[in-house]
Chain A
Amino acid sequence: MKPAIAPEEAYPELAVYRDTITPIEPLALVVSEDVMPAIEVVNLTVRYGQVSGCEAIHFSALPGERIAVIGPNGAGKSTLFKAMVGLLPMYSGSISVGGESCATSHFRVSYVPQHESVDWKFPANVWDVVMMSRTRHIGYFRTPRKADRQAVRDALEKVEMSHLRHRQIGQLSGGQRRRVFIARALAQKAAVLLMDEPFAGVDASAEAEIMGVLDTLRELKVTIIVSTHNLGQAAHHYDKVLMMNRQQIAFGPTAEVFNAKNLSRTFGGFLTVWQDQSPYTVIADDSCHEC
């Protein structure tokens, strides 16, 4: 796929980063130290009353990086994401997006919720759903203008959904539905995209389809943070991994962090890990069949 216009034109705000980043090869991100992180989470703690959702999460992501968040069910992955888009109040810590405090820049972070939380029978087509993310850009008492329509058109083109723009959302396949939500984040001109379990319940071809779109986003310097259960995928398709189980277990480049010690600390006794001289790490898990 060929983008119709250069990323810098579509995302003028990203042009700031253009000079500071050396051109990268896919999956080998070489960035100078003084680049502003796209999102920086400092010591974030979220609590539901007395119960802690996630404790002391501390990481940052550069523009264009792709980060996997892994942890068992109930580890606080969704809680972390909801706090990062401002749906949950922070108990302590701070989040900044592109160097700005999250109070002013929240809409630069886009959140794709878990698949089941959306009513797919809703009377809206693909175009309507993507246009929804422009609500704030359009403003009150106004109808979409040329710039808004152009943003939606570009976003749909980048995820290769233009030909399906008149389709009702319920009539899309699993992979297409996720692509619509990615397009929505693009139309919103978000710099950071948080995806909660995007690969749950999709088949292998749809997974490859979504991964292809995520590669396109890397070229646009959109930071992608994905929570996933699929450890095999996390080991191969992401630049960095954040392992958490309420607390942060480890954060760093996949090759460094993805080891037996961290994995068994994250998943507790549920997971057995063998790691020897061979390049393979063997993970046995009797509760999770996808691994």
Chain B
Amino acid sequence: MINVLATLSLWELIQRGWDVLLRDYHWFITKPLEIALLQRSLEAAILVGVLSGVVGSLVVVRGMSFFADALSHSILPGVAIMYQRSRAGDVPDIPGVRDANPLLWGALGAGLASTFLIGFLTRHERLRSDTAIGIVFAGMFALGIAMVSRVESYAGDLTHILFGQILGVGPQDLNIIIGFSVVVLLIIIIFYKEFMLISFDPLLAKTLRLPTEFFRYLLLLLIATTIVVSLQIVGISLMLALLITPAATASLITHRLHWMMVLAALMGSASSVIGFYASYHLDVATGPAIVLAATGMFGVVFLEQTLQNQVRLGLYRLRQTQKTSPAKT
């Protein structure tokens, strides 16, 4: 599939896609959905797009992208442990864990552990937060790789963890994704004004006697949950793009936080849809296709705004010169 990408230029990709769309609508849009597995994947991808758009908006306005990237990497040891145990048929006999994807719960555990570790290290400003994040991130990631490397023929499985495996979304997984998405989105809606306040002006939040530490940890928790849930779609290494890119695109368009969240959710889900079909028809891995779609959207909006500004500037200058040099009569 890498070969396909390398041999096709972007323009050819677009042309090919357009031709396909014109030739056969049914074949292009609805046929993939006849397969239950693919339909489930698309649903999961859309949900994850919405979720990471909303949570990503908070990540972007708080400047926490390094934390988000680090967190997605530090999930690896949790995944590795559960992977080894599930291979050995030694999955903990807890109802939720046994039935569903055990890797998800391992990831959640590792994510929460890293979150609290980072939060603990940065307390009282003993370490700069980026330093603490870097230490935990690299340490946990190394631990994960060390664990995975002990398993024979790990390469293929590691690829799935690193780059996502959307086709592995089972019915149970979809339920888990739905459940977590609803909970995370509800919490953000309920505490929207508190999150906005502690993000913009933590000092005011403290003088108003709001429990700022509680909300800080709650937000870290929400980010960790979002990352874990989205992991299956795009994988560890591209997770950051799903959080940051749609939110950044939205921030170019609007200057109010709630609209930014709505727009980012729309863009996230749209790039999921585009990426899903691109991956099906062009035989590209789904995770990268989704991320490329999001990146493309960002590029288009950014270029459009730059052009618009240039045009505005040009018009302004034109008017100025007309004002200063009186028209000849």
Contact = CB atoms under 8 A, between A and B. Distances in A.
B209 A107 contact: yes
A109 B256 contact: no
Interface stretch (A16-24, A57-65, A110-118, A278-286): A110-118
Given A123-B254, A138-B193, 18 more contacts: A85-B207, A86-B207, A87-B206, A106-B207, A106-B209, A107-B208, A111-B204, A119-B61, A122-B61, A122-B199, A123-B256, A123-B257, A123-B259, A133-B204, A133-B208, A135-B193, A135-B194, A135-B208
B210 A136 contact: yes
B201 A118 contact: yes
Interface string A233-255: 00000000000000000000000
A98 B200 CA distance: 29
B254 A107 contact: no
Interface string B253-268: 0111101100000000
B206 A124 contact: no
28 contacts: A87-B203, A106-B207, A107-B209, A109-B207, A110-B207, A111-B207, A113-B203, A122-B61, A122-B199, A122-B200, A122-B257, A123-B257, A123-B260, A124-B196, A124-B255, A125-B255, A125-B256, A128-B196, A132-B204, A133-B204, A135-B193, A135-B197, A135-B205, A135-B208, A136-B208, A138-B193, A168-B255, A188-B208
Contacts of A113: 201, 203
A122 B254 CA distance: 11
B52 interface: no
A141 B204 contact: no
A129 B207 contact: no
Interface in A134-173: 135-136, 138, 140-141, 168, 170
A168 B197 CA distance: 16
Contacts of B210: 135-136
Contacts of A106: 207, 209
A129 B260 CA distance: 16
Interface in B206-228: 206-210
Nearest to A131: B193
Nearest to A137: B208
Contacts of B206: 86-87
Interface in B158-191: 190-191
A109 B207 CA distance: 8
A129 B256 CA distance: 11
B302 to A, nearest CB: 16
Nearest to A170: B255
Contact of A123 (B61, B190, B201): B61
Interface residues of B, number: 26
Nearest to B57: A123
A166 to B, nearest CB: 9
Interface string B98-131: 0000000000000000000000000000000000
Contacts of A110: 207
Interface in B240-290: 251, 254-257, 259-260
Nearest to A141: B190
A136 B204 CA distance: 11
Contacts of B257: 122-124, 128
Nearest to B191: A140
Nearest to B254: A123
A155 to B, nearest CB: 14
A41 B89 CA distance: 68
Nearest to B194: A135
Nearest to A118: B201
Ranked nearest first, the 6 interchain pairs of A and B with the lowest CB-CB distance are: A168-B255, A85-B207, A136-B208, A123-B257, A132-B197, A123-B255
B88 to A, nearest CB: 46
A282 B256 CA distance: 49
